[in-house]
Amino acid sequence: MVKILISGFEPFGGDAVNPTGVLMDALANEVIEGAELKTVLLPVHFDECADLLIAEMEAYRPDVVIACGLAKGRTSITPERIAVNVKDIPPGSYADNQGQRPMDEPIVDGSPDGLFSTLPIRAMVNDMSAAGIPATVSNTAGTYICNNTMYRILDYIRVGQLPIRAGFVHFPASTEMAVLQPSVPSLPIPMMLDALRIMIRTVVADS
């Protein structure tokens, strides 16, 4: 039995819903063979989001962590390759939900510049593609809350030399969001939920 901790985010940036929050609700009662699942919803705040996820890791002691977030504007489901040790919100972008707007700050002083995902990202992409779901590896998780969460958990595992595989997956806007903003690329929630199930099975098969 592979213990898998999966996280999503609260809404931010003026949207009423965050599809990764919807995915967490949908996944909460899911049974996937070989996996024991636990979901958690994170606040969109630079420090709290990762603090809370790490607290969940300490409590639940998972084998795998899959953190999920929204990347409005993307067209496919994108497992992230690398987290970078920086907090930076460019002028003109959203501040976090508490109004923070850091620039060029390290997330963890003295830690590595970048940390690779330890999830089987290529197999995840291949398995989603084989199931007819648009997916590709992403080479930047940005420098916002999503990257922050990914970096913090990877660095926590690195420092503690823990036997945990972890990484981050960005999802596009849901079709519900695109109904209100028709120029935004989207995928339906049921397809994104299938994608998450597939990625969980990929991870189980690879464990």
Q: Which residues contact a copy of itself by CB under 8 A?
A: 75-76, 81-82, 84-86, 88, 90-92, 103-104, 112-116, 122, 129, 132-137, 139-140, 142-143, 175-176, 178-188, 191
Cβ proximity to a copy of itself: between 97 and 143 the closer is: 143
- Closest distance to a copy of itself from the beta carbon of 84 (Å): 5
- Closest distance to a copy of itself from the beta carbon of 134 (Å): 4
- Closest distance to a copy of itself from the beta carbon of 176 (Å): 6
Catalytic residue among 65, 67, 146, 177: 146
Strand blocks (E) in 132-202: 165-171, 173-174, 186-187
CB 135 within 8 A of CB 192: no
Cβ proximity to a copy of itself: between 28 and 179 the closer is: 179
Cβ-Cβ contacts under 8 Å for 73 (sequence gap 6 or more): 172, 173, 184, 185
Residue 146 is a catalytic residue: yes
Cβ proximity to a copy of itself: between 29 and 139 the closer is: 139
CB 97 within 8 A of CB 45: yes
Structure tokens at 141: 């998780």
- Structure-token match 């690779």, residue found: 116
Cβ proximity to a copy of itself: between 50 and 177 the closer is: 177
- Closest distance to a copy of itself from the beta carbon of 181 (Å): 6
In the chain the first and final C-alpha atoms are separated, in Å, by 10
For 56-81, give one letter per residue: b (16+ CB within 10 A) or e.
bbeeeebbbbbbbbbbbebebbbbbb
Known catalytic residues?
146
